[in-house]
């Protein structure tokens, strides 16, 4: 073998060792207390007493029990404690989201061949080999569009990744829509609160010409705000002209600002 070939072989092994070293440096455990332990990890995932052993740079070994672990990373994968078909165990994260897909070690196996799906609300199911359509249709029924695709056969077990992606996207869109609706409602309540103040001030104010029609205009504006409708200019203009009193101007201006 010539010198050029030997150099390439040496470089190859150096790169491999460097890659393994960097990967090991990235391995870490995050505890439920928020502590991060970095070092060489040794998952002790067999038997009832599951835990993670971390050997730090100082060669000191620390053992973290399963239920004290928030998550750990090992050889580029992330693992979390999850209550599965055989109780709590470490599961590998395959696809994260509102519904997270995990891989787990089935009974008396060392490989991560089992598949487990868990929603953020705690609902979960093992991905079945039999009755996949029936079980998944029911599990995904909070997103009718995806559930229907599984039920009518448009999506099957071989499309598991697509099913989870579509479901998570569906939930995310619904969550955003709900948050937007809540934010809009909060904004409407703020606006109505300013108009409530003005209304109370006008009602308790001494009698003046056009007082009843002024109260009616305020009520109409409040109703339009509550329905999410645009308040026409003739209403605000009419209200301004009917309230010349200086001591009501501040309340009126505060209410009108809410319409800007």
Q: What is the pTM for the complete model shown?
A: 0.65
Write down the pLDDT at residue 194.
85
d(CA 64, CA 51): 6
Average pLDDT over residues 211-227: 89
The residues with which 78 forms a beta bridge, in sequence order, are 73
* pLDDT over 60 (residue 16): no
d(CA 123, CA 128): 15
Contact 123/117 with Cβ under 8 angstroms? Answer: no
Burial 214-250 (b: 16+ CB within 10 A, else e): bbebbeebbeebeeeeebeeeebebbeebbeeeebee
Instruction: Looking at mean pLDDT, say which of 19-33, 71-85, 219-233 comes out highest.
Output: 71-85
d(CA 80, CA 84): 11
* pLDDT over 80 (residue 155): yes
- Which two tokens mark 215? 């109260």
3-state secondary structure the chain: CCHHHHHHHHHHHHHHHHHHHHHHHHCEEEECCCCEEECEEEEECCCCCCEEEEECCCCCEEEEEHHHEEEEEECCEEEEEEEECCEEEEEEEEECCCEEEEEECCCCCCCCCEEEEEECCCCEEECCCCCHHHHHHHHCCCCHHHHHHHHCCCCCHHHHHHHHHHHHHHHHHHHHHHHHHHHHHHHHHHHHHHHHHHHHHHHHCCCCCCHHHHHHHHHHHHHHHHCCCCCCHHHHHHHHHHCCCHHHHHHHHHHHHCCC
Q: In terms of Cα–Cα distance, which of 241, 236, 214 is closest to 225? A: 236
- Which two tokens mark 105? 């070690």
More confident residue, 99 or 106: 99
Contact 250/257 with Cβ under 8 angstroms? Answer: no
Average pLDDT over residues 241-250: 85
HSE (CB half, 13 Å, CA atoms) of 200? 6
Mean pLDDT for the chain overall: 86
Question: Over the stretch 41-65, which tens digit does the pLDDT of each residue have?
Answer: 999 877 677 899 999 988 999 999 9
d(CA 250, CA 118): 54
**Exposed/middle/buried for 176, CB within 10 Å: 0-12, 13-18, 19+?**
exposed
* pLDDT over 70 (residue 12): no
């Amino acid at each position: 073998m010539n010198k050029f070939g030997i150099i390439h072989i040496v470089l190859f092994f150096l790169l491999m060792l460097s890659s393994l070293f960097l990967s090991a440096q990235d391995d870490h455990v995050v505890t439920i207390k928020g502590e991060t332990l970095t070092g060489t990890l040794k998952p002790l995932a067999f038997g009832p007493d599951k835990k993670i052993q971390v050997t730090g740079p100082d060669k000191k070994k620390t053992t973290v029990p399963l239920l004290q672990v928030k998550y750990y990373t090992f050889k580029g994968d992330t693992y979390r404690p999850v209550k599965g078909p055989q109780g709590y165990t470490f599961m590998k994260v395959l696809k994260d989201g509102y519904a997270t897909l995990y891989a787990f070690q089935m009974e008396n196996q060392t490989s991560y061949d089992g598949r487990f799906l868990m929603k953020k609300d705690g609902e979960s199911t093992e991905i079945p080999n039999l009755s996949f359509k029936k079980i998944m249709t029911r599990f995904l029924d909070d997103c009718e569009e995806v559930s229907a695709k599984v039920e009518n056969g448009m999506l099957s077990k071989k499309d598991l990744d697509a099913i989870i992606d579509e479901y998570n996207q569906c939930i995310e869109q619904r969550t955003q829509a709900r948050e937007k609706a809540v934010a809009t409602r909060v904004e409407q309540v703020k606006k109505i609160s300013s108009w409530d103040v003005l209304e109370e001030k006008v009602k308790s104010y001494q009698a003046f010409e056009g007082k009843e029609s002024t109260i009616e205009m305020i009520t109409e504006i409040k109703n339009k705000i509550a329905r999410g409708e645009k308040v026409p200019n003739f209403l605000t203009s009419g209200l301004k002209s009917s309230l010349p009193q200086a001591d009501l101007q501040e309340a009126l201006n505060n209410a009108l600002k809410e319409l800007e």
